[in-house]
Amino acid sequence: MLRKIRTAVAIAVIAILTFGFIDFAGVLDNPLLQKIQFGPALLSLSAVTLVCLIAATLIFGRLYCSVICPLGIFQDFFNWLSRKFDKKKKFGYKPEQPWLRWGVLTVLVIAWLCGFTFLVGLVEPYSAYGRMADELFRPVYLFGNNLLAAICEKFGNYSFFKVAISLKSITAFVVAILTLLVIGHFSYHYGRTWCNTICPIGTLLGFFSRFSLFKMRIDANKCNHCLACQRKCKAYCIDSVSQKIDYSRCVDCFDCIDACRQKAISYSPIKSKDISRFQASADSVDESKRQFLKSTLVIAALAPAALEAKVTGVKDTRVPMSPPGSVSHKNLLNHCTACHLCVSKCPSHVLKPAGMEYGLGGIMQPVMKFDDGYCNYDCNLCSQVCPAGAIKPLTVEQKHSTQPGRVVFNKNICVVNVNRTSCGACAEHCPVQAIHMVPFEGGLTIPETTPDLCVGCGGCEFICPVKAVHIEGNPIHLEAKAPEQDTGIQTTDFDFGF
């Protein structure tokens, strides 16, 4: 029964969460499930979410890994699939690999402190799933939609509309494919091994779940050591022979409860009888605690040196532009796990996963690019959806006065100057007249810039036929000045005029 409830909730959660990534029509613009993910909450230090999740783990164990974490649920799908093909598939008990788990976590913390957030984002489970959803599942969904739209259009029905399918970034696409292969392979063959060796969230929550109130408990009187639970346990954490369960690795999938024919396993709060078993697990807690302390010390010792050695400077001659609300490249770098929710939500396809624009540490973090569109003046969606505090919430008014980048005009290649023909496409697209047309030779007009007004929307760069205008990013965002109101050349004194 518990298992069925867990499965149903997990399916609902992953369905809604995935829809949040592939939904192009803006049905689900404030995705709640993305905001309660542990990884982004940790990086944004959103205390409420963290306290709730840790408290839930202390009470219920790592239920998070079975019903909230999309990558966990996704792995269960592969595990289910493998059982469809191999009815006799068996797991067994394997001892914990504390060095590996805590080692990986330590490396990640050091990487994060050194500004290599890329590494953290690579294995942070929610973000890894988000990228697969955005890079791999979304195009499939769009393709289906476009097919439907094309069919409807044939019959004169315009209820559905087509959406361009494009490769946003080769890096992100390759990473998503690799994630799918690695995660698919691991979970198809080895159940939740990934969660209990590599996943940093799994390690952290595993630390707390040892002490959880509710646990799987084996009734020694009923158990006949048949190994059924152990064979079913995708976390390899039940030792049926000695009737012990490693609670740091148990993800509360409840598969063992259903597998036990003796009804010897129950999910219940602590009982006084279990003191000896609690003692046993407390030993291992101590060990990992010690390790945790050691790691912390190592990090503390290494961090200052590492920070000095931090990747400096951007290789490209152009300064990349981080999305409005991200405050600075540094803030983005420190918080973004590259889940690509903002990338998938951006209605104008401006946000793209970065390559090396921000340096090594910021690979796959969102960068503004104006190849397929430009940032809507009145849109603040990316700032509203970010679960990690990498893009802080902006109201539309706040966005209007935020300057993530500034306009640069190269008169030497402007078509008005070179061809002596009218253009003005850049000024036409500027919502604040940071580019405006001023009299040039003859009746022609040529662009003139007032960079202080610029909001970095990229309309000018997008439309310029020769790329004579572009936006240069501000590593630390500035404030855009409010345009002055001038009505001097207008008049209300007029007639037909002819």
**161 is a site residue for other proteins (CB under 8 A):** yes
Q: Which is nearer to other proteins, 145 or 248 (CB)?
A: 145
Q: Which residues contact 418 (CB under 8 A, 6 or more apart)?
A: 412, 466
Of positions 105, 133, 423, 454, contacts other proteins by CB under 8 A: 423
Q: Is the dihedral of CA 218, 221, 224, 225 positive or negative?
A: positive
Q: Residues 6 or more apart from 30 whose CB is under 8 A from it?
A: 384, 385
Residue 70: how many CA atoms within 13 Å on its side-chain side?
A: 28
Phi, psi of 216 (to 5 degrees): -75, 130
368 touches other proteins (CB under 8 A):
no
Q: Candidates 11, 373, 392, 450: give the one binding other proteins (CB under 8 A).
A: 373
Among 103, 347, 355, 475, binds other proteins (CB under 8 A): 347
498 near other proteins, judged by CB under 8 A: yes
CB of 483 to other proteins, least distance (A): 5
d(CA 114, CA 305): 9
Minimum CB–partner distance for residue 496 and other proteins (Å) = 5
Identify the residue among 156, 272, 313, 412 touching other proteins (CB under 8 A). Answer: 156
Choose the stretch contacting other proteins; rule: CB under 8 A; options: 64-72, 179-187, 363-371, 438-446.
Answer: 438-446
Return the C-alpha torsion angle 471, 477, 479, 485, nearest 10.
Answer: 20
Please select the residue that binds other proteins; options are 248, 348, 365, 383, rule is CB under 8 A: 348
Q: CB 408 → other proteins: shortest distance, Å?
A: 18
Q: Which string of x and - marks every residue 14-43 that binds other proteins (by CB under 8 A)? A: ------------x-----------------
Query: What is the Cα–Cα distance from 134 to 179, expressed in whole angstroms?
Result: 13
84, 87, 88, 158: which one contacts other proteins (CB under 8 A)?
158
| DSSP 8-state secondary structure symbol assigned to residue 164 | -
Contacting range for other proteins; rule: CB under 8 A; set: 51-59, 133-141, 351-359, 419-427: 419-427
Of 205, 463, 471, 480, the residue at the interface with other proteins (CB under 8 A) is 463
As a whole number of angstroms, the distance between CA 238 and CA 249 comes to: 9
Nearer to other proteins, 214 or 440 (CB): 440
The residue from 136, 314, 408, 415 that contacts other proteins (CB under 8 A) is 415
247 backbone dihedrals φ, ψ, rounded to 5°: -70, -15
Nearer to other proteins (CB atom), residue 85 or residue 494:
494
| Alpha carbon 373 to chain centroid, angstroms | 22
Residue 460 is a binding residue for other proteins (CB under 8 A): no
Q: Is 412 in the site for other proteins (CB under 8 A)?
A: no
The angle formed by the CA atoms of residues 447, 450 and 452, to the nearest 5 degrees, is: 155
Contact between 425 and other proteins by CB under 8 A: the answer reads yes
CB of 320 to other proteins, least distance (A): 22
Residue 326 makes CB contacts below 8 A (sequence gap 6+) with 332, 336, 366, 390, 391, 392, 404, 477
Q: Is there a contact between 278 and 217 (Cβ–Cβ < 8 Å)?
A: no
Least separation in angstroms between CB 326 and other proteins: 21
* Rounded Cα–Cα distance for residues 338 and 179 (Å): 13
Stretch that binds other proteins, among 118-126, 193-201, 202-210, 432-440 (CB under 8 A): 432-440
Q: Are 233 and 103 in contact (CB under 8 A)?
A: no
Q: Which of 447, 448, 456 is nearest to 424 (CA)?
A: 447
Can residue 377 be called a binding residue for other proteins (CB under 8 A)?
yes
Distance CA 237, CA 97 (A): 11
Q: Is residue 424 involved in binding other proteins (CB under 8 A)?
A: yes
Residue 137, SS3 per DSSP: helix
* Among 4, 90, 162, 315, interactor with other proteins by CB under 8 A: 162
Token pair for 230? 């152990």
Judged by CB under 8 A, the residue of 46, 266, 376, 417 near other proteins is 376
> What is the spatial distance between Cα 132 and Cα 138, in angstroms, rounded to a whole number?
9
d(CA 200, CA 84): 30
433 binds other proteins (CB under 8 A): yes
Residue 139 touching other proteins (CB under 8 A): no
Stretch that binds other proteins, among 241-249, 262-270, 306-314, 486-494 (CB under 8 A): 486-494
Burial class of residue 283, CB neighbours in 10 A (0-12, 13-18, 19+)? exposed
224 or 395: CB nearest other proteins: 395
Candidates 13, 339, 430, 471: give the one binding other proteins (CB under 8 A): 430
Tokens of 403: 């300057």
Chain residues that interact with other proteins, rule: CB under 8 A: 26, 150, 156, 158, 161-164, 347-348, 373, 376-379, 415, 419, 421-425, 427-433, 436-437, 442-443, 445, 459, 463-466, 483, 485-487, 489-498
